[in-house]
Structure 1
Amino acid sequence: MAETLPLEGHWLWMILGFAMGVVEIVAPGYFLIWLGVAALLTGIVALLTGITLLLQLAVFAVLAAIAVFAGRRWFGADAIDASDPLQADRAQRLVGHVVVVIEAIDHGRGRVEAGGGIWNARGLDAPVGAQLRAVGSDHGALLVEPLP
């Protein structure tokens, strides 16, 4: 005698879909949500039609492909245009600002205060308290030079 699952197939699909939605909320990536939607829809189809497990897997595969394709197209077509292209690059946003040396720049390296934070700096040697201008950034360090 073959063992049966304690839950019917449609409930397993719905639980799987819900679980994928929860995982997407905890660790967002915009992928599992679409598989979760496909699993929920597969559960609904299985509940309404009573199809076999093999057909349920086929329905899930088709719905998953459609859902992932539609989701990627939806999010890909509406890419967010930032009004500030340097929004995520804090160091580049400081270019042109006056910075104050808080750890002497010696042999081309030191630390400066700029934009409410402390930054590694590279440039000509300068004593503590000197005011310099940020002219660029390189791997998170501000490139500085003397004020004119």
Structure 2
Amino acid sequence: MTGMFATLGSWNWLIFGLLLMALELLAPGIFLFWLGLAALVVGLLSLVLQPSWQLQLLLFAVFAAAAVPLWRRLARRDGEASVSNPFLNKRADALVGRVFTLEKPIVDGSGTVRIDDTIWRVAGPDTPAGSRVRIVRADGASLTVDAE
């Protein structure tokens, strides 16, 4: 086993890194990309420094362990970008507080309102068509309204 590690060279690390990254394409989300990146870094350092096999394994372990917090930091930064648009994929929640005109009257607690190119089902007190209503709550595809 020691003989196998003693023959570790920079090309072995580079090939191993590319292989791990290719496997990440086949099975995404398993952190193989980051392990592959660590192997590539060790391979590039091995081209320049010619470290011993023990140091190469140690460098790989350190870079692989450091890649996880780096990935988490990058993922968190991407999550913060969506905070700038908190209603992304929550269209109904973005409508709360806005005022619209009823398309069909609210009869027995149910009616409709046209918002842009969509007709939404609304619930609220009986109100004639053409009345202005304010959306007070969104529950899935149903909106609750009050008379304006």
TM range, smaller chain: 0.5 to 0.7
Q: Which amino acid aligns with 2:18?
A: I
* 1:90 alignment counterpart: 91
Aligned residues: 135
Return structure 1 stretches of 4+ with deviation > 6 angstroms.
none
* 1:5 alignment counterpart: none
How far, CA to CA, are the matches of 1:104 and 1:80 in structure 2? Answer: 41
How far, CA to CA, are the matches of 2:86 and 2:116 in structure 1? Answer: 14
Structure 2: which 5+ residue stretches go unaligned?
1-10
Q: Which structure has more helix as a fraction of its residues? A: 2
* 1:63 alignment counterpart: 63
Q: Which amino acid aligns with 1:34?
A: W
Equivalent residue of 1:67, what SS? helix
Equivalent residue of 1:35, what SS? helix
Please state how far the C-alpha of 1:142 moved relative to its aligned partner.
Answer: 1.9
* 2:41 alignment counterpart: 41
How far, CA to CA, are the matches of 1:56 and 1:36 in structure 2? Answer: 14
Equivalent residue of 1:91, what SS? helix
How far, CA to CA, are the matches of 1:64 and 1:132 in structure 2? Answer: 57
* 2:144 alignment counterpart: 143
Q: Which amino acid aligns with 1:136?
A: R
Equivalent residue of 2:123, what SS? strand
User: Residue deviations 1:75-127, cap 9 Å, x none?
Assistant: 54796377856443432332232223345544434432125533232222445
Q: CA RMSD in A?
A: 4.1
How far, CA to CA, are the matches of 2:124 and 2:68 in structure 1? Answer: 49
* 2:7 alignment counterpart: none
Q: Structure 1 residues 137 and 58, CA, compared in 2 at 3 Å: closer, same or farther?
A: same
* 1:132 alignment counterpart: 133
Range that drifts further, 118-127 or 83-92: 83-92
* 1:15 alignment counterpart: 18
State the TM-score, normalizing by the size of structure 2. 0.58
